[in-house]
Amino acid sequence: MKMLKSKLVQKQKEELDAKNAAIERKKIEWGSQIRSYVLHPYKMVKDHRTDHESPQPDLVLDGELMDFIESYLIWAGKQ
């Protein structure tokens, strides 16, 4: 019985490792960015996950990210 239990635990661990490995292997490609910064001819920052936009990229680049964090938390809660 112990041997059967250890084999079952090992199989579950392997399945979990395979699932985690599949998540970590996502390719970083053109178009997979989280945020876009437009500084010219107009100014805007857009978060592509949450569709949150800010017309003040200077503040965002200086670290004012609270609006983006809040919109992400709302978005993640809906997932």
Alpha-carbon distance of 47 to 45, in angstroms, equals 7
Q: What is the pLDDT of residues 24-66, one digit of tens each?
A: 566 677 777 889 999 999 999 999 989 999 999 999 999 999 9
Is 0.85 surpassed by the pTM of this model?
A: no
Q: How many helices (H) and strands (E) does the chain have?
A: 3, 3
